[in-house]
Amino acid sequence: MVKIDIRLKEQEILILQSLVGKELVAIRRDSFNYINSSSQVVQIEAENGLFYLYSFTEPLDYFGTKEDVAVWTIETERYQVVDRKVFIETPIKEKIKSVSVIQENQRLFKNGDQTYDVWLTRGLVFDFGNRQLSFEKAIWFSEDIYIHKGYDLSRKFSSVDAFVNNDWDEGVTAECEREIITLEEKS
């Protein structure tokens, strides 16, 4: 069985935890031309510093074929890709009440035997109490980070059914479960 884990790492979760209770000053992202997305990076400015949500492809096994798969990281390091951007600044100026990390476990079975066990981070939801801001990885191969604002945003992410009901080969079945880890202010 092939196991792949491209969830955010523990140190990245700690960065997100450090944002809870702080003011999210602004995000900087690509201009929204056709869809609300930013390619490869979103800069997050909080009262405790600058952070970067990166989405870079790397060659990985994608259910039997080698493909360039987008992998997310959250870092404090500013890569050169940021300097090549003409960012649009979106002021937020709201205190972050919580951050939800949405993760998926995708499993593939061939004739009843499990062949793949894949974990990935599907997205992040910043909750301000009266509204939310989310970042979604909607497509495996795309370096685009989809950005949404509104309410109950994790429910608006791509459905797990898109994976389960994919056009798999004969004898192949899929399962997908989503879990949400909510990071809240420690009392």
137-157, pLDDT tens digit by residue?
A: 988 889 999 999 999 999 999
- pLDDT digits 0-9 by tens, 74-98: 999 999 999 999 999 999 999 999 9
- Mean pLDDT across the stretch 102-115? 96
Task: List Cα–Cα distances, 76 to 46, 50, 105, 128, in angstroms.
Answer: 12, 6, 27, 22
Residue 187 has pLDDT above 80, yes or no: no
- pLDDT digits 0-9 by tens, 12-60: 999 999 999 999 999 999 999 889 999 999 999 999 999 999 999 999 9
Beta bridge partners of residue 24, listed in sequence order: 46, 94
- Mean pLDDT across the stretch 102-129? 96
In this predicted structure, what is the pLDDT of residue 139?
86
Alpha helices in 20-142 (DSSP H): 80-83
Predicted TM-score of the model (pTM): 0.95
In this predicted structure, what is the pLDDT of residue 33?
87
